[in-house]
Structures are given as C-alpha cells and as structure tokens.
C-alpha cells in the first residue's frame, strides 16, 4: 500500500485477565497496519493561540507487538506477545499516522521529517527502503524497533500507551515476532482481517471521507460493525469509552 500525493466493549468476554505490560523501553515489532482512509484532522494551534485548519489526509493506525512481554489470555487464545497501538486518541478521535509525502529541499519525496511516519520509519531503519519502493509501508511489517511504554492508573485500573519510538540498540538480540504481521487496506479488507481491527479504529474508519462505497464498508456492514449500513443486523448494546488513550479490550492481542 502506497500513500497518496488520522473503548472498551460492553460485551461479555471469555478473557480471564488483561495484560499489564512493564513500563519502560522495550523491544517491539510492527505487527499490524490499518488504513483508516481520508480523515479530517483537529485544527493546528500556532504560538499565538490561533487555530489553523488542516487539510484532510489519509491516515494509518499502526500497532506493535512487544517482543519480550507476553500475556496468557486463557482459553483457545493462549499466550501471546502483548500488542499495543502507536496511535493516541483525542476527544474520542483516533490520531493516526498521516500517510502523505512531500518534496523536500533536496528534491527527495518522503514523509515530513517531523511526522510520526518519519520517526517510525527511522526507528525501523527503513527510511531509505521506503523512499526506494515509493513508500509502500508493507515493508515495515515485522520490522523491529524500541518503544517506550508508559503507564497511568485510574480508579484502580492501569492504562498504557507508547510515548516514543527509537532504533534497536546495536548488538541487541531481537526475539522473533510470533504473530503473522498484516496490513489492512480500504479496498482489500477481508472479514478475517476486519475481526482483528480494534473497535476504536473501526469507529474512526467509519468517519473517513472515502468510507462510503468502499470495500471495507461492505465488510463492516456484513459483519455488523456498521449498524447504520444497508442490511445491517439489529443494533447492539452501546459501547462505553474509557477515560484514557487507546484502551480497547475487544481485540485481545
């Protein structure tokens, strides 16, 4: 996939417990990239406090698996490496990685050097590879990197997010990524892939400017995720959002 020139469930779960990853810097690998379509973005606030509108852009939701930390989910799922999102949320909106490239001063077409995509590709050691392949992010799947995991406590519950990414330290052994890494696009999404998309990302995808009429919409409608779509099944119970970023328990890994 190449760029063009951004809760928890109320359903009962068989999961016996939820993971609590260790805070700090740890090894990870890119395990899932989800195309969220063309997303409207929050206004940019300049140094004077003035709000500056930003153009809608294609965004990705990127997730990584922690290579040295696992969790036993019980049942048929068993023990898996812990999966965490690289995206954050703001006022209920998933803030994905802007998937757009620009012509730089040296005439090289690539991601904005200050963008999350530039930082991610650099941490994966894949900057030159993506420039060479036209920024096909499938090349990032399975790439190892270091991530900084932070933890916050609220009412006795623990919430985790990834604060930063960085390259793997030279000479550090890298364990194997156990899961098969996947990429989910708007036009090739399958039912099996849709099952792996977290509910907060699914909701954001349904807000995309190019969602209507897409293949991913048809899959969501068929599976009952898009309850407002044609031929959708009866409405389910309302889902309840959590008070902190990226806490989502409907996909266990």
The rounded distance, in Å, linking the Cα atoms of 176 and 119 is: 23
Any idea what the Cα angle at residue 231 is, between residues 227 and 236, rounded to 5°? 30
pTM: 0.82
Are 115 and 98 contacting, i.e. CB atoms less than 8 angstroms apart?
yes
What stretches of the chain adopt beta strand conformation (E)? 24-39, 44-45, 51-52, 57-72, 79-85, 88-90, 93-95, 97-98, 102-103, 109-110, 144-154, 157-166, 182-184
Are 58 and 185 contacting, i.e. CB atoms less than 8 angstroms apart?
no
Are 192 and 21 contacting, i.e. CB atoms less than 8 angstroms apart?
no
Res 229: pLDDT: 58
For 201-212, write each residue's pLDDT tens digit. 999 999 999 999
pLDDT at 55 over 80: yes
Res. 75 pLDDT band, cuts 50 70 90: confident
For 156-188, write each residue's pLDDT tens digit. 888 889 999 999 999 999 999 999 999 999 999
Residue 215's SS3 state is: helix
The rounded distance, in Å, linking the Cα atoms of 174 and 146 is: 10
Q: What is the DSSP letter of 240?
A: B
* Domain ranges, ordered by start, for the chain: 24-223
Are 145 and 48 contacting, i.e. CB atoms less than 8 angstroms apart?
no
H-state helical runs in the chain: 116-123, 127-132, 191-194, 199-205, 215-223
């Amino acid at each position: 996939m190449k760029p063009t020139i951004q809760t928890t469930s109320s359903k009962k779960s068989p999961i016996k417990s939820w993971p609590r990853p260790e805070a700090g810097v740890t090894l990870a690998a890119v395990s899932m990239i989800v195309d969220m379509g063309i997303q409207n973005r929050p206004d940019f606030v300049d140094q004077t406090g003035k709000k500056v509108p930003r153009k809608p852009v294609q965004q990705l939701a990127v997730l990584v698996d922690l290579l040295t930390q696992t969790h036993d989910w019980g049942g048929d799922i068993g023990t898996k490496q812990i999966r965490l999102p690289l995206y954050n949320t703001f006022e209920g909106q998933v803030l994905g990685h802007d998937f757009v490239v620009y012509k730089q001063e040296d005439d090289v077409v690539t991601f904005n050097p200050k963008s999350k995509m530039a930082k991610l590709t650099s941490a994966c050691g894949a900057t030159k590879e993506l420039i060479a392949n036209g920024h096909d992010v499938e090349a990032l799947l399975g790439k190892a990197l270091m991530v900084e995991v932070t933890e916050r406590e609220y009412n006795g519950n623990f919430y985790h997010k990834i604060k930063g990414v960085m390259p793997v330290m030279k000479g550090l052994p890298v364990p194997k990524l156990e899961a098969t890494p996947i990429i989910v696009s708007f036009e090739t999404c399958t039912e099996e892939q849709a099952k792996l998309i977290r509910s907060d990302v699914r909701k954001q995808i349904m807000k995309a400017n190019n969602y209507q009429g897409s293949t991913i919409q048809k899959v969501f409608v068929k599976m009952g995720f898009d309850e407002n779509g044609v031929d959708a099944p009866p409405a389910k119970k309302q889902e309840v959002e959590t008070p902190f970023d990226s806490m989502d328990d409907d996909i266990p890994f």
